[in-house]
Amino acid sequence: MNFATNIVLTGFMGTGKTTVGQILARKLNREFVDMDALIESRAGMTIPQIFERRGEDEFRALERRLVYELALRNGLVIATGGGALIDDDMRETMVQSGMVLCLNASKADIRARLAENAHRPLAAGWERLLEARASAYAKMPYQIQTTGKTPEEIAGEIAALDRGALYAHTPDGGGYPIIVGRGLLDRLAAEADSLGLAGHVVVVSNETVAPLYAESLVRTLPNANLIITRDGEAHKNLDTVRGIYDELLKLGADRGTTLVALGGGVIGDMAGFVAASYMRGISLVQIPTTLLSMVDSSVGGKVGVDLPQGKNLIGAFKQPRSVIIDTDVLHTLPPSQWRCGMAEVVKHGLIARPSLLDPDLWNLENAERLVRGAVQVKIDVVEVDPYERGIRAHLNLGHTFGHAIEKVTEYAIPHGEAVAIGIVKAARLSRNLGFINDSLVEHILKIMWQIGLPTDIALDPERWYAAMSTDKKWKAGRSRLVVLKKLGEAAVVEGLSKEEICAVL
């Protein structure tokens, strides 16, 4: 007896529900139920015959009865008919019974698949039917984009979700799994098929991370090469990108190649930018290895490089195919880098998830839980605001103050430390504006001390303010800063006076 909840695959005809369902069921060692096939065998006729002899209403009634029946069972992989869960009540019934995923495909894919299988009823006016059902499909809790993926890869993605992977929805109606766990790097080769790593893979890493993790990973994958870049923000530029393009061409990388970014945020941003632009875009898998890149930069799709004139001035949005977070790699991370990542974790705790502020979580033993909680905050924000037009700005809590510190000190202060000081300044500003009280400011100071992060710096306020006022987000000299409305909630305030800001500097 399998007590796991059901996995229900729904979606329009031709999106691969049955093929993917069969592979998934084999993979998870579960029973597979194809609703259409079961209805046919029970009725003793094909679905076109049911439509012809008894009419569509009768077919829907059979489907409805079967939905109720299957929802009472456990541990199944179910492929529904394309119209079975359009009705709110049917959808809710299945959602109560397990994980409901909608498979989506491009119109070109659907057309091609229907052409192979012309006997389906309703296939004739399929484009209008798809439009009519689109809003109902959009209500399914998980959206899986199938175009460009093999059924094995789609099944692998869903299997990862079943094992507790997180999932980030993207604006194109798809999304990607974020797999968080221990020892994942050692198991990647065994899962290469389902993770999109079975074909030609090029791993991009740097001179520090490559000997630790990338070289062994490349040896275990069936068809992989490695490109090693210099370490450090100073190399996150177009020269390095150009070098990676050259290497890719030498390695014969084509549009079917998958790029794996294995490293901290610098590698993720840079390799991500290469994946967004090489041959107009190739597949990207992010394997972040610093705490910061795990909880922040690997999720959300922002990629890019620096120019001599400023950081991250060249970039793109490139959603990864998956993000694989093996928290075991944090064992080799220098403590200073751990602390810098913790500044972002604290930020996520303050703006959305106060449970992250529990000191019991701030250690390697609990890294998996810590990362899961913190990355979920990032997912929640980027799903609502993928292109940074609204609440994504909340992720900048403390960053305008922090970026200015980096600028004035000519990057002598590490980013995470600058952010920590910035968060304290933002908290003091929030207190001055009457949003939060002294005790929360004190609490934040204590958190930073416990982690070993600084809370202040001796800088000339005039220079500090001047550096802040060049922030990209300030419009025509009008200030724009993120403050705390209360613990777990941030807001953007605009148009504060220089005096109000300098009072906390």
Ligand X SMILES: NC(=O)c1ccc[n+]([C@@H]2O[C@H](COP(=O)([O-])OP(=O)(O)OC[C@H]3O[C@@H](n4cnc5c(N)ncnc54)[C@H](O)[C@@H]3O)[C@@H](O)[C@H]2O)c1
Q: CB 397 → ligand X: shortest distance, Å? A: 13
DSSP E strands, 235-309: 258-263, 283-288, 302-307
Q: CB 269 → ligand X: shortest distance, Å? A: 5
Residues 62/43, Cβ–Cβ less than 8 Å: yes
DSSP 174: -
Which of 93, 290, 376, 479 lies at the binding interface for ligand X (CB under 6 A)? 290
Q: CB 226 → ligand X: shortest distance, Å? A: 15
Q: Could you say whether residue 236 binds ligand X (CB under 6 A)?
A: yes
| Annotation marks residue 219 as catalytic | no
Q: CB 267 → ligand X: shortest distance, Å? A: 6
| Annotation marks residue 344 as catalytic | yes
| Annotation marks residue 378 as catalytic | yes
Which of 15, 143, 289, 376 lies at the binding interface for ligand X (CB under 6 A)? 289
Q: Could you say whether residue 385 binds ligand X (CB under 6 A)?
A: no
| Annotation marks residue 331 as catalytic | no
Count of Cβ atoms closer than 10 Å to residue 497 Cβ:
9
Which of 208, 322, 400, 430 lies at the binding interface for ligand X (CB under 6 A)? 208
Backbone torsions φ then ψ of 461, nearest 5 degrees: -55, -35
Q: CB 224 → ligand X: shortest distance, Å? A: 19
Q: Which stretch binds ligand X (CB under 6 A): 90-98, 130-138, 141-149, 290-298?
A: 290-298
Residues 135/155, Cβ–Cβ less than 8 Å: no
Q: Could you say whether residue 297 binds ligand X (CB under 6 A)?
A: yes
Q: Distance between CA 210 and CA 222 in Å, rounded?
A: 18
Q: Which stretch binds ligand X (CB under 6 A): 20-28, 166-174, 295-303, 401-409?
A: 295-303
DSSP character string of 317-377: E---SEEEEEGGGGGGS-HHHHHHHHHHHHHHHHHT-GGGG-GGGSSGGGHHHHHHHHHHH
Q: Distance between CA 38 and CA 55 in Å, rounded?
A: 18
| Annotation marks residue 394 as catalytic | no
| Annotation marks residue 200 as catalytic | no
| Annotation marks residue 388 as catalytic | yes
Give the containing element (helix H, strand E) for 109. helix 107-116
Q: Which stretch binds ligand X (CB under 6 A): 138-146, 175-183, 296-304, 468-476?
A: 296-304
Burial 376-404 (b: 16+ CB within 10 A, else e): bbbbebbeebbebeebbbbbbbbbbbbbb
476: which residues sit within 8 A by CB, 6+ positions away? none
Residues 345/291, Cβ–Cβ less than 8 Å: yes
Which of 145, 194, 206, 319 lies at the binding interface for ligand X (CB under 6 A)? 206
Options 236, 339, 407, 415, the catalytic residue: 415
Positions in 242-281 near ligand X (CB under 6 A): 263-267, 269
| Annotation marks residue 415 as catalytic | yes
Contact mark string toward ligand X, 307..346, x via CB under 6 A? ----xx----------------x--xx---x--x------
Residues 178/165, Cβ–Cβ less than 8 Å: yes
Q: CB 309 → ligand X: shortest distance, Å? A: 15
Q: Distance between CA 429 and CA 431 in Å, rounded?
A: 5
Count of Cβ atoms closer than 10 Å to residue 470 Cβ:
12
Options 403, 407, 428, 431, the catalytic residue: 403
Closer residue to ligand X, CB minimum distance, 160 or 419: 419
Tell me how long the chain is. 505
Q: Is residue 375 classed exposed, middle or buried when 0-12, 13-18 and 19+ CB atoms within 10 A define those classes?
A: buried
Options 399, 407, 425, 431, the catalytic residue: 399
Closer residue to ligand X, CB minimum distance, 17 or 403: 403
Contact mark string toward ligand X, 11..30, x via CB under 6 A? --------------------
What is the amino acid identity at position 84? A
Q: Which stretch binds ligand X (CB under 6 A): 12-20, 208-216, 221-229, 472-480?
A: 208-216
Q: Could you say whether residue 420 binds ligand X (CB under 6 A)?
A: no
Closer residue to ligand X, CB minimum distance, 271 or 429: 271
Q: Could you say whether residue 237 binds ligand X (CB under 6 A)?
A: no
Options 17, 169, 302, 425, the catalytic residue: 302
The dihedral through the CA atoms of 143, 347, 330, 232 has a sign that is positive
Residues 491/485, Cβ–Cβ less than 8 Å: yes
* Catalytic annotation, residues: 280, 302, 344, 378, 388, 392, 396, 399, 403, 415
**Binding positions for ligand X, rule: CB under 6 A:** 206, 208-209, 212, 231, 233, 236, 263-267, 269, 289-290, 292-293, 296-297, 300, 302, 311-312, 329, 332-333, 337, 340
